[in-house]
Chain A
Amino acid sequence: MLNKERIYEIIDFVIKEAEGYNTQVLVFSNEMGLTRFAKSEIHQNVFEDKTEVIITILEGKKQSQIATTLYDKEGLRAAVKEAINNLKFLPEGEVELSLVSSPKLIEDEDFNKELDTVFNIEGRARLIKQGINLLEPGYKTYGALSYGIMNVAYGNSIGIKRFMKGNNVEFNVLVSNEKGGTGYAQLISNRPGDLDIIGAFKIAYEKAKMNRNPMRIKPGPYTVILEPLAVGDLLTYMAYIGFSGKSVQDHRSFLTGKKGEKIFDERITIVDDFTDENTLTLPFDTEGYPRQKVTIIENGIVKDLVYDQASAIKDGVKSTGHSINMFEIGGMPLNLVMLAGDQSLEEIIKSTENGLLITRFHYMNVVNPRQAILTALTRDGVFKIENGKIVGAVENMRFTESMFEAFNNVIAISRERQRTKAFIGNYYVPALKIKNFHFTGNTNV
């Protein structure tokens, strides 16, 4: 992994090689170690050290981009040459992009040194072993514990520089009984206080114990309590299909034509907030634009969208700093935070006469983006609630539901919130109690 000084050297070298051109350079330099276990044994244990340099040259409405892992002088020269050569035949794109011009410098660090020692190769193995030692005979555990260090930098030919150093631990654990019944827990953070690996093992283990002899129930509408992992999954897909300016421009989004309209229950507020300490700290985007805090849904009303530069120009607004260097997506919220409610999850369960408690979803996908219809399967713990008590486990089912319906049928929102893994980074969300949530199929033969 390269340090800030070496990365800045690379950026300066590329800009010098492309003298006379509007050039921007993006560098990702990461180290990641991951220990994977199955059947209570380590079966994969890996380490990767990778640096990628992405060079973009802008000329009027033309944009040429080359990515390379060959960051020696020869490799960078070849990449610059190719990027410049492309301009000769490239037809114009839709909009004229410009290099970010302010502020001159953004440098940030969200790096916790303590993680280096606790989650090194041997440390990860020891923590997993402690977790395995908790289990009684008949239970096995499966999962992955990873520790990554990430340096992200940006520079351009008008002297702008950006740098961010961070580190992060991700842990997911499943405990399974040999006669069936699984439980699951997930952690993602760079704060040691959030990373109770043994606590996560215990949660997964308790759920696996509860998730025995599941009853089969008929598909149909049910009152559900979605734990944060399940809510995070819904938000991940809603963000992907609908929270960007480009998705509305393309008529893909369920928010198309709905700005200012109340579409969800008034208790639903969703903000993309990179300043929230419970989400990924990355104060600039892949075009170097400072990331903005964007309120997407406020009290159920559609407020604003996230933009990269191209989609912002098209809508006559400023970039919100949400480029992920994927032109077809045009901007992606990485830091979604959902407003909490005023009841604890325990209180929500107690106040439920008849319902289902859902741990998480599996293999979600979009059935109809304009109607915000999503589908997925439940996984690793569905529990029947009667008269405020969990009375037993339920077999997995498929839901197919419009998020317009689901987020209008909210009965309660939990006070507690949890970090949940998104496509990139993580969100921070509560549990939701929703009525008339449609299950459309069972999963067992």
Chain B
Amino acid sequence: MKEKILKVLEVLKKHRVDYADIRVNDIMEEKISTENLKVRNLSTSRSRGYGIRVYLDGSMGFAASQDFDKMEETALKALEIAKASRLIQHRPIQLAPKEVVIDHYETPIKIDPFTISKKEKLDLLFEAEREMRRHAELFRTLGSMDFRKEEKIFADTEGSFITQKLYESGCGIEAIAANENDMQSRSYPNSFRGNFGTSGYEYILEQKLVENAGDIAKEAAALLEAEECPSGVFDIIIDGSQLALQIHESIGHPIELDRVFGSEADFAGTSFLSPDMIGFKYGSEYVNVVADATVPLGLGTFGYDDDGVKAQRTEIITKGIFKNFLTSRETASLLNQPSNGTNRADGWGRAPIVRMTNINLLPGDKELDELIAGIDYGFFFKTNKSWSIDDKRLNFQFGCEIAYEIKDGKLTGKIFKNPIYTGITPEFWASCDGVCNEKYWKMYGTPNCGKGQPLQIAHVGHGAAPARFRNIKVGVADVK
């Protein structure tokens, strides 16, 4: 394979390309879903192919195929596409410089998830489902596990040759209570198929699905009888899992430099940020955010991005001040900077675009009790249920699974259903006045981040701990 790749790169060099790379992906996925103590879905998939990216006279072309006998033909197709791009190219695309690298990277794992029998995985999910049902009368119970192994080869005309083997594991359970008028659910360790990390099967065991099943079952049943969350302006605490999505939508996306330059203007949207806004007050002094593609377990952790740039940690917000965008070689060159290594494709059939790595809110110094003690009347919001944000990433609205009442600095034990909160990005982050410490900090995986045309689904991560926000608009009072 290596010989074939290098030969095709030589052919492209003879055509005087500015730059070209070949990326081979071999992706294996396993998805297991159970529902009401039955198998809902057990499927595996294998996807193997390659994509060739060519820059010619500052214009881009990309072609992808799964036929390895046609690699040279595919390369010439990419070249033909680049030539067509030249028809509308006022400003030649340039790539920021990078080091030539020959290296191999593997996700550190203890247990290869593909060596564990599917039966063992199903048995664990069934046990967790039974445990949920033991604790409450439920309408439905769900369980899921997802595993992914990706072997990658990256080679370019500059001389880099990088191989990677990346593993992902994830799991979750959900308890659903329903009656004639309503349906309520609670999920663990997160909603939408649970939590995910770059890890082996040990990640599944560490989640302790069975041990946590009873609590969410009882809460789901209680939510069915609970009152609607009140509307108004309140102080709230947001748990790490919901905060992960808040970070994703209101920090992760707006800092993608390709969005800032308009690459997604017609589709996923742009950003309220502009290149000259380094130094902008993004939030309060308690808000410290990094993009870290090296953090253990992060779903956005890897060895090298799809430009062949090494994974790195970049300051994004320090004490509330905006410091850096997420960049690729192409976008970084427009700011005369080196890339900070965030250019990724979702498979062999797609060209890489700027994607989040792990966008982490760094832990603060508070105990959860301290945050609660500082609220006269408000709520503790947990677990995402819905999300939406405008095309500049300013006005957001999130729904959560549950809200716990806080009164006179204490949790009262009362819960509310259908909590919603809404805000404007910089105002929201400015209202943060405390973040929990390392003890509460956890990595959350988001395996469904959509962007790009044709659509690409990225797997990204967010580290977060519960945090407190003042005077937040809760609920939508006048909507039935």
List A residues at the B interface (Cβ < 8 Å).
Answer: 32-52, 62-70, 75, 79, 82, 86, 89-94, 121-122, 124-126, 128-129, 132, 140, 142-144, 146, 172-174, 176, 182, 184, 220-221, 250-252, 257, 327-328, 362-371, 373, 375-377, 379, 396, 398, 400-402, 404-405, 438, 440-445
Q: A90-B39, A146-B453 are in contact. Are A443 and B89 (CB under 8 A)?
A: no
Q: Which residue from chain B places its CB closest to the CB of A94 in the assembled complex? A: B38
Q: Which residue from chain B places its CB closest to the CB of A250 in the assembled complex? A: B140
Q: A50-B49, A174-B265, A328-B33 are in contact. Are A367 and B386 (CB under 8 A)?
A: yes
Is the pair A69, B81 in contact by a Cβ cutoff of 8 Å? no
Is the pair B49, A91 in contact by a Cβ cutoff of 8 Å? no
A373 CA to B51 CA, complexed, in Å? 41
Is the pair B266, A70 in contact by a Cβ cutoff of 8 Å? no
> Which residues of B have CB within 8 Å of A82?
44
Q: Is B272 at the interface (CB under 8 A from chain A)? A: yes
Q: A46-B81, A46-B351, A94-B36 are in contact. Are A67 and B45 (CB under 8 A)?
A: yes
Is the pair B42, A64 in contact by a Cβ cutoff of 8 Å? yes
Q: Which residue in B63, B89, B387, B453 is a CB contact (below 8 Å) of A47?
A: B63
> Which residues of A have CB within 8 Å of B87?
42, 122, 125-126, 129
Query: What would be 15 A-B contacts, judged by CB atoms less than 8 Å apart?
Result: A35-B85, A42-B88, A47-B64, A49-B74, A67-B45, A172-B267, A251-B178, A363-B269, A363-B391, A376-B388, A398-B397, A400-B476, A402-B480, A438-B479, A440-B397
Rank and list the top 9 A-B pairs by shortest CB-CB distance, nearest first. A174-B266, A67-B45, A142-B265, A89-B119, A251-B178, A443-B395, A65-B43, A377-B390, A48-B349
> Which residues of B have CB within 8 Å of A371?
480
Is the pair B479, A402 in contact by a Cβ cutoff of 8 Å? yes
> Which residues of B have CB within 8 Å of A35?
84-85
Between B80, B81, B90, B266, the greatest number of chain A beta carbons within 10 A of the residue's beta carbon is seen for B266
Q: Which residue in B59, B65, B418 is a CB contact (below 8 Å) of A368?
A: B418
Q: A67-B44, A327-B41, A377-B391 are in contact. Are A45 and B77 (CB under 8 A)?
A: no
Q: A67-B46, A70-B46 are in contact. Are A51 and B88 (CB under 8 A)?
A: no
B360 to chain A, nearest CB (A): 23
A159 to chain B, nearest CB (A): 25
> Which residues of A have CB within 8 Å of B478?
220-221, 438, 440
A69 CA to B59 CA, complexed, in Å? 30
> Which residues of B have CB within 8 Å of A93?
38-40
A365 CA to B387 CA, complexed, in Å? 6
Q: Per DSSP, are chain B's interface residues mostly helix, strand or loop, or mixed?
A: mixed
A366 CA to B65 CA, complexed, in Å? 37
A35 CA to B351 CA, complexed, in Å? 12
Is the pair B394, A122 in contact by a Cβ cutoff of 8 Å? no
Is the pair A86, B394 in contact by a Cβ cutoff of 8 Å? no
Is the pair B64, A143 in contact by a Cβ cutoff of 8 Å? no
Q: Which residue from chain A places its CB closest to the CB of B64 in the assembled complex? A: A48
Q: Which residue in A45, A176, A184, A251 is a CB contact (below 8 Å) of B85?
A: A45
Q: Which residue in B42, B85, B395 is a CB contact (below 8 Å) of A125?
A: B85
Q: Is B122 at the interface (CB under 8 A from chain A)? A: yes
Q: A51-B66, A363-B391, A398-B395 are in contact. List 7 more A-B contacts (CB 8 A).
A: A47-B63, A63-B42, A66-B44, A363-B388, A376-B388, A377-B389, A440-B476
Q: Which residue in A40, A43, A75 is a CB contact (below 8 Å) of B60?
A: A43
Number of A-B contacts (CB under 8 A): 261
Is the pair B386, A365 in contact by a Cβ cutoff of 8 Å? yes
Q: Per DSSP, are chain A's interface residues mostly helix, strand or loop, or mixed?
A: strand
> Which residues of B have CB within 8 Å of A47?
62-64, 77-78, 81
- B11-37 with Cβ < 8 A to chain A: 33, 35-36
Q: Is B226 at the interface (CB under 8 A from chain A)? A: no
A441 CA to B183 CA, complexed, in Å? 27
A45 CA to B82 CA, complexed, in Å? 7
A365 CA to B117 CA, complexed, in Å? 37
Is the pair A44, B60 in contact by a Cβ cutoff of 8 Å? yes
Is the pair A45, B49 in contact by a Cβ cutoff of 8 Å? no
A363 CA to B248 CA, complexed, in Å? 14
A95 to chain B, nearest CB (A): 9
Q: Which residue from chain B places its CB closest to the CB of A252 in the assembled complex? A: B183
A366 CA to B139 CA, complexed, in Å? 21
Is the pair B45, A173 in contact by a Cβ cutoff of 8 Å? no
Q: Which residue from chain B places its CB closest to the CB of A368 in the assembled complex? A: B418
Is the pair B351, A42 in contact by a Cβ cutoff of 8 Å? no
> Which residues of A have CB within 8 Å of B62?
44-47
Q: Which residue from chain B places its CB closest to the CB of A362 in the assembled complex? A: B391
A443 CA to B84 CA, complexed, in Å? 39
Between A32, A40, A50, A52, the greatest number of chain B beta carbons within 10 A of the residue's beta carbon is seen for A50
A48 CA to B346 CA, complexed, in Å? 13
